[in-house]
Structure 1
Amino acid sequence: MPELPEMETYKTLLEQLILDKTITGVVINREKSINVPVDHFTRQVLDQKIEIMDRRAKHLIFHLQNGSCLLLHLMLGGWLFYGKKEDQPDRTVQVQLSFGVHNLYCIGLRLGYLHLLTPEMVKQKLQNIGPEPLNPSFSLDAFEAIMKNRRGSLKTALMNQEVIAGIGNRYSDEILWHAQLLPEKKINELDQDQISRLYHSIQFILQQAIEHGGYMGELFKGDNKTGGYKMYVHGLEGNPCSRCGTPIIKVEIASRKTYFCSNCQH
């Protein structure tokens, strides 16, 4: 599932590709991927310019000139591709937005969606999401206050969108490896130094992942930004830990495949 770094990368690149451009075509191949009848969606979106693009947690928000918004959540398996018809990947496209001869293909939206909403509806939809971890207001003090009265494991807390926005299964593993903390360690067992380490690891891993374009494949042909982040532990079962050489272990926590080093995570 694309997480904060992937969606931030998409936002940055799409701002260069489609911001202030007019939507000249709409194709809906899967009606369940949108939230209103196809004809209504098309009427509201066609011939509109995208004036602003925002990201909130794992969502992208396209602000249209008529005041409407498109809220995109790729969920599990979703991804985006931008290009001409001859560049289209050989995959099922659920929603397609055209900008002249170029198209934005929304692929793999079996669980994801592109919903047409008012700004007020977007605000309501996202109202329970926690703070953005890279926002300047997300200080160590703010993080300590969030974690103070929580229970449960670090892994599940990091993935809880009501606690912190945008972190999912992959980057929770990466963060905990960097902080040298076990994913099943209980929040209320952390000392001050470990809380500080965890906070700074959240900042470091997410910023590094954004800098390298996250883990997803290219957004467009010739894209040399997207997909440059290399995982430290996630998906690397049996590989040597890059810090101590111990083979990476895979277990299941809260029904999620979880990867860690049993030697240097404590």
Structure 2
Amino acid sequence: MAMKPALKLAYIGTDFSGSQAQPGKRTVEGELKKGLIEKGIIDERTRVSFSGRTDAGVHALGQVVSFKALDERLVEPRIINSVMPKDLWVYASASVPDDFDPRRDATSRTYRYVLYAPDVVERRIVECSKLFIGTHDFTNFSSVEPGKNPVRTIKNISVTKRGDLYIIDVEADSFLWNMVRKMVTGLRLVGSNKRPARWIEQMLRPDEYREGIPPALAAGLYLVKVDYPAISFIEEAYSKGRAYQRMMHAFEWQYTMAAVYREFQDAMR
């Protein structure tokens, strides 16, 4: 059986206009293809398939891509990372069948939203999150594209409190555009007592009740993982170590700035 490579990559989406290539814009696909072409792994005509799209500002820890390589000996994370920008890195690889499709062959996807919400009542947001589990019409909790089936199945959802942050993990068969971010908006509205708990149930019956709500900020969302039934990715320790060091430098700066903002906020009260 003919085989081809698949890669697992991560990126900080802040400075990307999404994952999918767009003329004149900086995207994950554009930067990845540019590097793969530079290393002689693919050419300009090669199609790079993604497990799914992420919007502008959305991050990924477990995005999966696949393509047919000109020279599979060069498909190693450390080689590819040598020409990647600082906010995009490859850290695992696998050999997959030639007909593997990272989007259609996925059995589930998990997204995480990091929500800053000191005004939210933990019990309310945790209890109401369970209402999303199961198969529902998510018309009210997405930006439904024409002709797209709005019915999706939520397999699992969990909400964990960490100080003033809520970590919301959602696993589903697939997701609609802005679905997780609008679900988070809904949970915040209920958790802060701006909507009753039964409102979530109403919103999940769009044939009876319609209401438009804005999506939560893109910055809090990232793709955690994509599951496949029979594919094992091999992680490269060197690339993970380099990424860890890069993240530490960014974390120190961001943590320091968060403390500065908190002091400024306190001073302006």
Q: TM over 0.5, yes or no? A: no
**Structure 1 or 2: larger strand share?**
2
The structure, 1 or 2, with the larger RCO (C-alpha pairs under 8 Å, 6+ apart) is 2
**TM score, norm. by length of structure 1:** 0.34
